[in-house]
Structure 1
Amino acid sequence: MTSIEDFTRQYGLVQKIDAFGYLDYLKNNPDAPRKHGKVVLVTADTPLKASRGEGKTTTTIALIDALNERGIDAAAVLRQPSMGITAAGSKGGASGGGKASLTHPELIDWGLCGEMGAIEAAQNLLVSFAEKAVDEGKLDTILVPRVSEVPSRSLRQIAVDRGKGDVPERVVLTPTCELMQIVVLSRSMDEIAERVSKMIAGTKDGKGVTFGEFVDLWRITGILSDAVKPAKTETVNGSPVYVHGGPFANVSIGIPTLVSVEMACALHDVVIVEAGYGTDAGAQKWLDIACREFDAQWPSAAVVVTRASTWRDDPELAWRYPFHVQRLEGLDIPTFPLINLWEGEDDQVPALKQTAKDLEFREPIVGNLFRDGGEALAPQLDAFVDVLQNAAAPARPSSHSGMSVIEDAKWVAEHAYGVPADRILLKDGFVASRDEAIALCESVGIDITKLALVAVKSPATMTDNDRAPEDERTVTLKKVEVHAGAGLVHVNLTTSLTTPMPKIV
């Protein structure tokens, strides 16, 4: 009998799984054994600093260990982190820590599962094809940026001398690039090829030119043959973990690949999905992009992680954590606050629980997960497990397809950041940028209102000034950028930072 092992092979110290092949097999064999796992979203409070994590990955690992300890078949799906930012020290690594960590964290933190390097090579090859197209008179400008895993702000805007005048180019981080988004959102290699063909390479005489007009796409899909396969590893306690897809929900979509989540749901009863940065970033993108526009599973529950210090030590920002929890509850997603204690904070537990009670939260889950791992969570999960076992199936949300870019941005600002439509501001040049994006889409036969909106923002703020009184908070729209192949349109907010840098340690 065919099983997941038939689609799995060793890849160094981890395994790689042909998720496309496995899901296609299940589609063509409806009687084949499979599960219908429920998705739980692990997200977080908005961090006080962009460089500081709240502990989502540590929580995710501890949570599946705790569920498995209670006899529930649970797995996690994590994003592949950025080597140049996450692992180089700007924030904690992406493989947990202490008793809530992975068996081979170095493979995850340093990109050695392979997809980052392959995606980087593939998009840079596309840019090389675009350069050749300029030489041959097929393009006047290049719109697709080069990519690198190692950040360099000096490369954000560059000009290349071709002997006939400079051609502007730029470099972005691999996780944020359009090809990464295509891999995250696609469900087959054919879909990847189709989406790459729709990427706008540049312009000729003011009109967009797609890669499908001059590139043999097998060259790109060949590079990606291993990159599209999720890596399988495990926690130090033996719980299964799948790693696939890019981070950075502030400047991209920041979620694991849809196929890795669907594959995990076919193999396990509960699948914990980690979404990048805070609820206003990764969770917003999972709900409003993956679920609304790309048919991902709406979460059966959510866990919103915070540190005790984030929640309580800055009164001007204390509104954000309750806002996140209440927003998800308002979407009929049972939402459990989780407080990730650091050393020396155990004596704060009674006060933290009282504050949660005053805010009418569900009973909070509290523990030092680095020190105690899943053992700290297992006794606290009765209400959480009851929701997973007995709650009604979540309803599928409606699409935003057809909304204008500005109206969609206003909807996100109101629902994800708490700023009403009449306090959405347009920076000088935004309307011109929007109009240029509309014209570019129309020139290649695309309706921009059919693209899903990606809010590009600071990971540490939800508004232009989170410290302002509630009735004075604003959100400013800065510029628009089209990722036609991925099916996305980016709207930059004023406080966006698209090229963060590592710390000098």
Structure 2
Amino acid sequence: MSLIENFTKPYGLVDKIDAFGYLDSLKNNPDAPRKHGKVVLVTADTPLKASRGEGKTTTTIALIDALNARGIDAAAVLRQPSMGITAAGSKGGASGGGKASLTHPELIDWGLCGEMGAIEAAQNLLASFAEKAVDDGLLDTVIVPRVSEVPSRSLRSVVVDAGKNDVHEKTVLTPTCELMQIVVLSRSMDEIAERVAKMIAGTKDGKAVTFGEFIDLWRITNILADAVKPAKTETKNGSPVYVHGGPFANVSIGIPSLVSVEMACALHDVVIVEAGYGADAGAQKWLDIACREYGAQWPSAAVVVTRASTWRDDPALQWRYPFHVERLEGLGIPTFPLINLWDGEDDQVPALRQTAADLGFRAPIVGNLYRDGGDALVPQLDAFTEAVSAEDAPETPASHKGMPLVENVKWVCEHAYGVPSDRVVMKPGFEESLEAARALAEDAGVAFDDLALVAVKSPATMTDNDAAPADERTVTLKKVDVHSGAGLVHVNLTTSLTTPMPKIV
């Protein structure tokens, strides 16, 4: 029996793996068999519409099928989607499509791997404890939101009758909540407990009160016992796929759990990691949060997916795809443009290749992956596999801990969105929000400028107006929220909702 089998148990039609236990066993047994797989990041062009996927998951599945067909031991790590949005049809599915699909897409799309439901229950229990703390005089206000997998406009902001004083509360989607972030970023149950203890429940006399001050944390960690375990499934062609962590890289971190990626790297030679939305969202957060601040592996290569129509249909937005590719290349990451064709677009391939050549891209990878799956990619991966197998990988850039928050935001705006610091503007009220967030963090015993930055933004825009001329684009800073337990600070930029409504299809 291999070591990983000791930590694997059936969970319905998939397996669940105790990644914490497996990685701890490897640490304590350095001679145990393991691999040192390389990470490849799959990201995308900024979509024309928030509800429209570019095909990252379909590409990820086709890519590992193609690599395995070439004799390379490859696996993928996907995020567990939000049932209320993805499965309800508001954007592309989370389990691929056509020949590039998982064996049990319904389990992934509808949250039946369990972590969404468990995290929802645990965060809502925390909110209930906070409400009881108001009754007991321990809190005046409740800051921690309730969560739901099914969005409701009526729950975005509510007022609870709490006797003498009404209490304002809100509800967000499960993937966006702080407890999801804690699960994604933690490497042990002890770390989860420590982070939950640092979560801010609310305030008393204007001062932050953390959950560690008034509840027993085992109540929360027990609920999460299975939620912290990645699910293992496979593609229709038998390639291994691990699913763990939440989506929504525009309003949260939108990356798979760090332990699911580390576990996969110990088991396989190449690990394809899918990050949410475009390169300005999920890729930015994998690089600047997971890698810079939490020690995840810097990618050996990247694939930037786009539809032909996203890249070329709107002349005012055509700058975005080259910007993403060039930015990743500028970080020392070999970056491969991948054009995900739809039916009827095969005749566009020569023109697409010429455009890529004119832009100075690496030779693009092109195919209708829904129709042809990994077969379309097998003959196109010579340069890709050569780049991934290169010995010299760039070092992870230095942490931004200690960098003042506004300076950090301006750095992200310049490097990830192409907007220089002098065109980053502050909405009236932003500075007051910043100081209030700083005070909350200090009350919670957290160094405010050590928190990792989460840019909260629209998934379909990088700036206030992407169609504006380059020298007129701006980014507006709107408000600041502290997630002290997760070690994150959210800064709202372009308009976006943490409880978006599903599209009727």
Q: TM-score category by the smaller chain?
A: over 0.9
Q: What amino acid sits opposite 1:430 in the alignment? A: F
**Match status 1:492 vs 2:492:** yes
Once the two structures are superposed, the pairs formed by residues 79-478 of structure 1 within 5 Å of their partners are 79-478=79-478
How far did 1:391 drift? 4.4
Q: Deviations over 1:181-225 (max 9, x none)?
A: 000000000000000000000001111100000110000000000
Q: Which moved more, 1:468-477 or 1:387-396?
A: 387-396
Q: Which moved more, 1:322-331 or 1:396-405?
A: 396-405
CA distance in 1 between partners of 2:47 and 2:499 (Å) = 18
Match of 1:32 in 2: 32
Q: Deviations over 1:312-364 (max 9, x none)?
A: 11100000000000000000000000000000000000000000000000000
CA distance in 1 between partners of 2:46 and 2:472 (Å) = 19
How far did 1:447 drift? 1.3
How far did 1:9 drift? 0.3
Q: Counterpart of 1:90 in 2: which secondary structure?
A: coil
Q: What amino acid sits opposite 1:223 in the alignment? A: I
Q: What amino acid sits opposite 2:247 in the alignment? A: P
How far did 1:162 drift? 1.6
Q: What amino acid sits opposite 1:128 in the alignment? A: S
How far did 1:500 drift? 1.6
Q: What amino acid sits opposite 2:483 in the alignment? A: H
Q: Counterpart of 2:89 in 1: which secondary structure?
A: helix
Q: How many residues align?
A: 505
CA distance in 2 between partners of 1:252 and 1:434 (Å) = 18
Q: Counterpart of 1:390 in 2: which secondary structure?
A: coil
CA distance in 1 between partners of 2:179 and 2:356 (Å) = 42
8 Å contact from structure 2 (residues 463, 494) kept in 1: no
**Match status 1:55 vs 2:52:** no
Runs of 4+ in 1 over 4 A off after TM superposition: none
TM-score after normalising by structure 1: 0.99
Match of 2:12 in 1: 12
Q: Deviations over 1:67-122 (max 9, x none)?
A: 00000000000000000001101012100000000000000000000000000000
Q: Counterpart of 2:476 in 1: which secondary structure?
A: strand
Q: Deviations over 1:214-237 (max 9, x none)?
A: 110000000000000000000000
Q: Counterpart of 2:134 in 1: which secondary structure?
A: helix
CA distance in 2 between partners of 1:2 and 1:374 (Å) = 29
CA distance in 2 between partners of 1:113 and 1:281 (Å) = 25
Match of 1:69 in 2: 69
Structure 1, gaps ≥5 residues long: none
How far did 1:164 drift? 1.6
TM-score after normalising by structure 2: 0.99
Q: What amino acid sits opposite 2:20 in the alignment? A: F
Structure 2, gaps ≥5 residues long: none
Q: Counterpart of 2:384 in 1: which secondary structure?
A: helix
Q: Which moved more, 1:347-356 or 1:392-401?
A: 392-401
Q: What amino acid sits opposite 2:230 in the alignment? A: P
Q: What amino acid sits opposite 1:172 in the alignment? A: V
Q: Deviations over 1:250-291 (max 9, x none)?
A: 000000000000000000000000000000000000000000
8 Å contact from structure 2 (residues 22, 263) kept in 1: yes
How far did 1:442 drift? 1.2
Question: What is the percentage of aligned positions where both structures have the same residue?
Answer: 83
Q: What amino acid sits opposite 1:290 in the alignment? A: A
How far did 1:390 drift? 2.2
CA distance in 2 between partners of 1:138 and 1:498 (Å) = 28
CA RMSD of aligned residues (A): 0.7
CA distance in 1 between partners of 2:383 and 2:235 (Å) = 24
How far did 1:154 drift? 1.4
CA distance in 2 between partners of 1:121 and 1:71 (Å) = 43
How far did 1:55 drift? 0.1
CA distance in 1 between partners of 2:200 and 2:55 (Å) = 37
How far did 1:163 drift? 1.7
8 Å contact from structure 2 (residues 144, 201) kept in 1: yes
Match of 1:483 in 2: 483
Q: What amino acid sits opposite 1:287 in the alignment? A: L
